[in-house]
């Protein structure tokens, strides 16, 4: 039986600001943006090439905005990904090279943290 991780909640304070950050600066695809009612808005975004999406909105999660830590995305070229982020105004860390991969970290406007990992050559 397959168990597929397909959706991760990202708690934010301002849905429009967060959507603009993830789409316009980070480069995620905007899949859905649906206002169900006054208390529920569902915004689904997907990193390019990913089978897993993120959801943000109102009425989505009871996590405090900025409390999501360490969501990790694997990229082919971490330096190119870092340059993409910096070129779009995202503060990104220097590349941290470890035996298990090379990493770049960044945060969204609410302080949710992300790690980009380039896997080591096998």
**What does pLDDT average to over the chain?**
97
Burial class (CB in 10 A: 0-12, 13-18, 19+), 101: middle
Dig out the tokens for 121 from the structure: 């050559």
CATH number at residue 87: 3.10.180.10
**Two structure tokens written together for 35:** 């206002």
Residue 52 in this model has a pLDDT that exceeds 90: yes
Residue 112 domain flag: yes
pLDDT of residue 71: 96
- Does 1 reside within a domain? no
Rounded mean pLDDT, 62-77: 96
Residue 122, pLDDT score: 78
102 belongs to a structural domain: yes
Q: Can you give the residue range of the structural domain that contains 15?
A: 7-61+68-118
Q: Is 111 helix (H, G, I), strand (E, B) or coil?
A: coil
Q: What is the DSSP letter of 64?
A: P
**Taking a C-beta distance cutoff of 8 angstroms, is the pair 118, 78 a contact?**
yes
Query: How many CB atoms sit inside 10 A of residue 100's CB?
Result: 8
**Number of domains making up the chain:** 1
Is the pLDDT at 121 greater than 90? The verdict is no
pLDDT in tens, 87-105: 999 999 999 999 999 999 9
| Predicted TM-score (pTM) of this structure | 0.94
């Amino acid at each position: 039986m397959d168990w597929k991780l397909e959706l991760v909640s990202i708690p934010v304070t301002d849905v429009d600001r967060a959507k603009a950050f993830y789409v316009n600066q980070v480069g995620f695809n905007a899949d859905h943006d649906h206002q169900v009612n006054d208390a529920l808005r569902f915004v689904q975004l997907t990193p390019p090439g990913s089978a897993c999406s993120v959801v943000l909105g109102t009425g989505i999660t009871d996590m405090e905005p900025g409390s999501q830590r360490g969501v990790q995305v694997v990229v082919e070229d971490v330096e190119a990904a870092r340059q993409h982020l910096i070129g779009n105004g995202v503060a990104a860390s220097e590349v941290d090279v470890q035996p298990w991969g090379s990493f770049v970290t960044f945060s969204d406007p609410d302080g949710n943290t992300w790690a980009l990992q380039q896997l080591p050559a096998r």
